[in-house]
A and B are shown apart, each in its own frame.
Chain A
Amino acid sequence: MRKEKSTLNNNSRIGIKNNSTKKSNSKPHNKEKALTDGGCGKSLNLKKRVIIKDDGRYLIYYDF
């Protein structure tokens, strides 16, 4: 079992195996491509307004 803990960052590891933690067969390359279209072939160009709330969180209005 792999444990995902918000307060931990220790690098200790154990070798408990599980099917679900197998690495995919992906071949990472050219990260910028995903930035532009993610396979869409075009950007969406949606109308949006971003505000930052008092507590620092963002909020985005999508206007149609």
Chain B
Amino acid sequence: MFVAIATKRQDRTFHPPKDFCPLCPTKSDKIKTEIPASDYDIVVFENKFPTFSENPDRVDNKKLNIGKSFQYEHKESRGICEVVCYTPNHNLYLEDLPLDKIENLINVWRDRYLVFGGKKFIKYVLIFENKGKEIGVTLSHPHGQIYAFSYIPPVISEELESSRKFYQKNKRCIHCGIIERELRDRNRIIIANKDFIAFIPFYARWPYEVHVYPLKHHESLCQLNDREINSLSSVIKGLIRRYNKLFDFRMPYTMVIHQKPTDNGNYNYYHFHFEFYPPYRTKDKLKYLAGCELGAGTFLNDTMPEEKAAELRNTVSE
């Protein structure tokens, strides 16, 4: 496990009134936002309250009382944190965007992955979205984030290691095997098209956890062709709209994209995918991480993935 201590984040903007949204375009000289232009398609910028930065603060050994016998392993929080604004419209969420706009966003994600991947000190690029106050989001304007790490984070590292071991033993990708199994069983699938599949995995931790995979063995978003990008846009939109329809409110979620690291290693055993973690287990009950999850690393799921998948599958996406 890693802990990133970033005390300046305590001061970050917290649920500002809509008229003072820092992610809306600047409409008047009196209220300047993060984005100077009066309109935009998609914008990315350095996070004002970053966890990691390219030039992190130097240590003050004296202040922290760090001497030669200091026993804790630690290093500077080097990396890059970006915000990605999907749209200038404060009320237009990812799932409300037309498919071509979602395709544009996927291309921006691809570009940021390439740009950060080209930096020597960046080993991993995590693209993600936190949505909804239940998740802890402090700005409601539709946006995502990108964290570029100077190391491969532990969840990814463990997933890579499992994938590598399976590949070594069986001479095939474990994720391709999972997709084949899901296509055979069918009962955990939410949506599938000619290029992508969305399903609640057999091993789901959250009741409505969904993973989205390309059917073709790709290691990162960058390997998608135009048709696959269109197919992915359609699945993302369809999935989130189903989430919203399920309980008749915009479902909060965390969405993460797991891609191969950018350290130029050989990851031909890895298969990129999206993971969605909505926190609700019923319309009015949240699932919390408690003793067994936090203290023992074992998730308790009160539901059957097959039943929850049927609920989402039968929720007609408009």
A42 to B107, CA, bound (A): 13
Hey, which chain B residues are within 8 Å of A48, CB to CB? 111
Is the pair A14, B5 in contact by a Cβ cutoff of 8 Å? no
Hey, which chain A residues are within 8 Å of B262, CB to CB? 34, 38
| A-B contact number at CB 8 A | 187
Are A10 and B59 CB-contacts (below 8 A) given A20-B1, A34-B117? yes
15 CB contacts below 8 A, A to B, read A3-B2, A3-B74, A4-B5, A6-B57, A8-B59, A10-B70, A12-B73, A12-B74, A16-B73, A20-B1, A28-B265, A59-B45, A60-B45, A61-B42, A64-B41
The 7 closest A-B pairs by CB, nearest first: A26-B265, A20-B154, A40-B222, A35-B118, A59-B45, A9-B59, A57-B46
Are A63 and B41 CB-contacts (below 8 A) given A5-B74, A28-B263, A38-B262? yes
Is the pair A24, B1 in contact by a Cβ cutoff of 8 Å? no
Nearest neighbor of A60 in chain B, beta-carbon distance: B44
Show the binding face of B for A, using Cβ within 8 Å.
1-7, 34-37, 40-46, 48, 53, 56-61, 64, 66, 68-77, 104, 107-108, 110-111, 113-114, 117-118, 120, 152, 154-155, 157-158, 160-161, 164, 219-220, 222-223, 260-267
Is the pair A39, B223 in contact by a Cβ cutoff of 8 Å? yes
Is the pair B3, A4 in contact by a Cβ cutoff of 8 Å? yes
Are A4 and B74 CB-contacts (below 8 A) given A26-B263, A29-B264? yes
Looking at A37, A38, A41, which has the most chain B CB atoms within 10 Å of its CB? A38
Nearest neighbor of B104 in chain A, beta-carbon distance: A64
Smallest beta-carbon distance B64→chain A, Å: 7
User: 0/1 per residue, A21-64, Cβ < 8 Å to B?
Assistant: 11111111111011111111101101010010101011111111
- Pick from B4, B41, B68, B158: contact of A62, CB under 8 Å: B41
A48 to B220, CA, bound (A): 22
Nearest neighbor of B167 in chain A, beta-carbon distance: A25
- Pick from A6, A16, A30, A61: contact of B6, CB under 8 Å: A6
- Pick from A16, A22, A26, A40: contact of B266, CB under 8 Å: A26
Is the pair B66, A12 in contact by a Cβ cutoff of 8 Å? yes
Looking at A5, A22, A33, which has the most chain B CB atoms within 10 Å of its CB? A5
Smallest beta-carbon distance A30→chain B, Å: 6
A27 to B164, CA, bound (A): 13
Nearest neighbor of A59 in chain B, beta-carbon distance: B45
Are A44 and B114 CB-contacts (below 8 A) given A3-B3, A5-B77? yes
Looking at A4, A36, A59, which has the most chain B CB atoms within 10 Å of its CB? A4
A1 to B44, CA, bound (A): 33
Having A12-B70, A12-B71, one finds 5 other A-B pairs with CB under 8 Å, namely A8-B74, A20-B158, A34-B117, A38-B222, A40-B222
A59 to B43, CA, bound (A): 7
Smallest beta-carbon distance B183→chain A, Å: 25
A46 to B113, CA, bound (A): 13
Is the pair B1, A2 in contact by a Cβ cutoff of 8 Å? yes
Is the pair A62, B104 in contact by a Cβ cutoff of 8 Å? yes
Hey, which chain B residues are within 8 Å of A44, CB to CB? 107, 110-111, 114
Is the pair A4, B75 in contact by a Cβ cutoff of 8 Å? yes
A19 to B77, CA, bound (A): 21
A35 to B120, CA, bound (A): 9
Hey, which chain A residues are within 8 Å of B44, CB to CB? 59-60, 62
Smallest beta-carbon distance A25→chain B, Å: 5
Hey, which chain A residues are within 8 Å of B118, CB to CB? 34-36, 38
- Pick from B34, B57, B264: contact of A28, CB under 8 Å: B264
Is the pair A20, B264 in contact by a Cβ cutoff of 8 Å? no
